[in-house]
Amino acid sequence: TCDAPTGSSKDLLFNLELDPGDYQVKVTALGMDYTSQLGVGKAEGKPSLYEVDLNNDGVNEIRMENDSVQVTLLTTGARVIEYIVKSRDDNVFGKLWPDKPVDDKRPFRERGYYYYGGFEDFLGQASMETHQVYHAEILQGEGDFVRVRMWTDYYGNRLEKTFTLYGNSPLLELRYALKFKNPEANIIAPDPLLELGMEHWTEDVFTVPGEDSLEEYRMKPERYYGRIFFQKEGWNAGYDTKEDITFLGAFPVTEPLFMHMWMNHPVNKDAHLYYVEFQPWVPIYQKSTMYFSYYIWGAGGHWEDGVSALRKRNLISTRSL
């Protein structure tokens, strides 16, 4: 139980000791109920975590690794800058860092989108969070999982991300915790910048579970374009049909307003590359702590295998339409 004065909030932290399995967790407060899915896996494997300065700038990057994947985190923007699938020796994300865009010094550059690559957030672009250096704390450096927390302050608004890599699979979990007070900062969109295989090209197929059926899209080399989706299930997939590599993103489907897809083209004045984004646009609830989880799964093989693996872990959520 918890008491909080009018106009304030308190955090309650629950550490549930559960056997492996699928659960529904129900929370009741102020006469309202909320139920969410929870998947508990068997403790297996021994991932590693270490710090390394990859670009010799005096600021360490954090690397998380297991038998399946190698993940590199930047404290700048609290980004996943690399997610390398070991079986394919491929970073599923596009990456420019540590290089800078060719127009890095153009007038008013700070007011436009700035491409680092990796997995970042769309938050008031351009650009509330792009260059912000986060505080970083290693919460668990050994065992059957490794975990890092990063946090920062944006003008009195706290944004925290907790990254967890488990020992026995490619699963990377990102848990967001936002305590915001500015009403104009009202949307956050977790944002993978995808470049499967050697390059992002027409052999890459992207699949979204729409309201009535699965929808497939490919890039158009001659132009950029975008789409908005209202999804039945909380996932999206990319598959390189030539190099046989999959990216999957999963999230609670009832939380975003919609999914935004963006197929980028080098003519974009702020990002001169081919890549694709899939952003679930999540509303930020003010004056409380709002949580949101996003799951990354990259592997060799077809995307249907990845969806099946996430479904077995109770990480695929469904909306009643």
Burial class (CB in 10 A: 0-12, 13-18, 19+), 40: middle
| C-alpha span between 321 and 310 (Å, rounded) | 22
pLDDT of residue 320: 79
| C-alpha span between 69 and 85 (Å, rounded) | 5
| C-alpha span between 294 and 182 (Å, rounded) | 23
Looking at residue 299, its amino acid is: A
Q: What angle do CA 87, 88, 94 make, to 5 degrees?
A: 130
| C-alpha span between 280 and 191 (Å, rounded) | 8
- Bridge partner list, 19: none
pLDDT of residue 128: 65
pLDDT of residue 7: 79
Alpha-carbon distances, residue 164 vs 89, 138, 269, 295 (angstroms): 21, 10, 35, 10
Q: Which H helix or E strand runs over 304?
A: helix 303-312
Question: For 86, which DSSP code?
Answer: T
Per-residue pLDDT of the chain (321 residues; tens, 9 = 90+): 778 888 777 888 888 999 999 999 998 888 899 898 999 999 999 999 999 999 999 889 999 999 999 999 999 999 999 999 999 999 999 999 999 999 999 998 877 889 999 999 988 665 566 888 999 999 999 999 999 999 999 889 999 999 999 998 999 999 999 999 988 889 999 999 999 999 999 999 999 999 999 999 999 999 999 999 999 999 999 999 999 999 999 999 999 999 999 999 999 999 999 999 999 999 999 878 899 999 999 999 999 999 999 999 999 999 876
Long-range Cβ pairs for the range 147-153 (8 Å, 24+): 148/49, 148/62, 148/64, 148/73, 150/73, 150/75, 150/78, 152/78
Q: Report the Cα–Cα distance between both ends of the chain, in Å, rounded.
A: 35
Q: Which two tokens stand for residue 62?
A: 């954090």
- 0.85 cut: is pTM over it? yes
| C-alpha span between 204 and 242 (Å, rounded) | 8
Q: Residue 193 in contact with residue 93, Cβ under 8 Å? A: yes
Give how far the C-alpha of residue 111 lies from the chain's centroid of Cα atoms, to the nearest Å. Answer: 23
pLDDT of residue 129: 67
Place of tokens 């494997």: 45
Q: Which two tokens stand for residue 190?
A: 């977790």
